[in-house]
Amino acid sequence: MATFKAPKGTYDLIPPVSVKYLAVREAISAPLRNSGYGYIETPGFEDVGLFARGVGESTDIVSKEMYAFETKGGDQLALRPEGTASVLRAALEASLHKQGNLPVKLWYSGSYYRYERPQKGRYRHFSQVGAEAIGAEDPALDAELIILADQAYRSLGLRNFRILLNSLGDKECRPVYREALQSFLRGLDLDEETVRRAEINPLRVLDDKRPDVQKQLVGAPVLRDYLCDACKAYHEEVRALITAAGVAFEDDEKLVRGLDYYTRTTFEFVHDGLGSQSAVGGGGRYDGLSEMIGGPALPSVGWALGVDRTVLALEAEGIELDIPASTSVFAVALGEEARRVLFGKVTELRKAGVAADFSFGGKGLKGAMKDANRSGARFAVVAGERDLAEGVVQLKDMESGDQTAVPVGELIDTVRARLA
């Protein structure tokens, strides 16, 4: 007999915990839906070239972590490791950017796949809620997104997170900095792989967590000193707008991010209760991505927040979300006729918008009342042959324990009135 388990690095969302994930997705998307972002859904896989070109051939995400495969028809595809490239691809394909309504503001929620070494907070299948504002170079848009993410986390009750902010410069000033950093790195004593990385993607070396590397990086040129006037002014405006909104952040000139498409504003949300996988979300501006994947110039900005890590952050802060019981009324029928009558009443209650459930499986009173308790329902409706003979059902308040007989025909109105 074969027994199967969830693949390594994945896990199942199962009640009652799964309801937290729904609540987190809801809480993250609510501020976006309230701010002009439209919902977009794209396929779970794309042409592998989209990510290779968009996210960057030299990133870990593309070079090591991508689930790439060839289909029976010979197409080279990859499970999406992130959402930005797909969303921009979809917007370009649908010509959303040509309708004179820039920026195009979109939000999404879905599963992403990275072949990473699994550990707490790092999975091979995880979910993000993300937002992309496409086609406008406006510091207020960067600020809007950072403020909305802050609002989302706060609405969940999270407090122990920090916002790290940086600017990576643009196509004018970054190459100059890159050059300066590269010549600095060439003078260091680094292992072969890091030397290679320094040539392909020198900024990533700054992100190296190893102490011996970090020690050598003291005195490395910092991007801030190389930012051109336009980038500096842009960044100052973003900072001023966030500050004015009362959102606290920390300047972090070492913040590089693991994707190649970023320009100017980059930010990360880190939670201090999560250990090494502390980034609960991240994003930034990607003014060159559209051109990298064959589109016109469309300066854009966005973020994605990790749902899995946000749930871990809630646990780390001991936050219990106030999630109302999903069932308001639980019907317990004793005997065949009662089953027929109460099943009909449950259907009526549901149609009337009352969340109702039924004791299935022909259980006795004791077992069925246990189910009623477990459901968290405010009321149990109990009926047996004798009740029905009198034309009533018993309505039991599960909080107070009070029980009253209610005429069958008045059940729906009575329940609705008492729930209101």
- Can you give 405-420 as a three-state secondary structure string? EEEHHHHHHHHHHHHC
The alpha-helical segments, DSSP class H, found in 258-362 are: 289-292, 307-316, 336-351
Under rule CB under 6 A, residue 150 binds ligand HAM: no
Instruction: Pick the binder of ligand HAM from 122, 224, 232, 339 (CB under 6 A).
Output: 122
Check: CB of residue 371 under 8 Å from CB of residue 389: no
The residue (of 202 and 282) whose beta carbon lies closer to ligand HAM is: 282
Minimum CB distance to ligand HAM, residue 95 (Å): 21
Select 169 or 356, whichever has its Cβ closest to ligand HAM. Answer: 169
Binding part of the chain for ligand HAM, among 133-141, 196-204, 299-307, 394-402 by CB under 6 A, reads 299-307
Residue 308 engages ligand HAM in binding (rule: CB under 6 A): yes
Among the listed ranges 127-135, 209-217, 228-236, 313-321, the one in contact with ligand HAM (CB under 6 A) is 127-135
Which long-range contacts link 240-245 to residues 24+ away (Cβ below 8 Å)? 241/139, 241/140, 241/143, 242/143, 242/146, 242/147, 242/165, 245/143, 245/147
Radius of gyration of the chain (CA): 27
Q: Is the dihedral of CA 41, 47, 145, 305 positive or negative?
A: positive
Q: Looking at 6-46, list the stretches that DSSP marks H as alpha helix, in order from N- to C-terminal side.
A: 18-33
Is residue 174 within 8 A of residue 264, CB to CB? The reply is no
Q: Whose Cβ is closer to ligand HAM: residue 285's or residue 345's?
A: 285
Contact set for ligand HAM, span 243-262 (CB under 6 A): 258-259
Task: Report yes or no: 269 and 161 within 8 Å, Cβ to Cβ.
Answer: yes
Q: Which of 114, 204, 271, 345 binds ligand HAM (CB under 6 A)?
A: 114
For residues 270 and 349, which CB has a smaller minimum distance to ligand HAM in the complex? 270
**Least Å from the CB of residue 238 to ligand HAM:** 15
Helices and strands: H and E segment counts in the chain: 16, 16
- Closest separation in Å from C-beta 183 to ligand HAM: 29
In the complex, minimum distance from the CB of residue 213 to ligand HAM, in angstroms, rounded to a whole number:
21
Interaction between residue 130 and ligand HAM (CB under 6 A): yes
**Chain residues that interact with ligand HAM, rule: CB under 6 A:** 82-84, 114, 116, 122-123, 126, 128, 130, 132, 258-259, 279-284, 286, 302-304, 306, 308-309
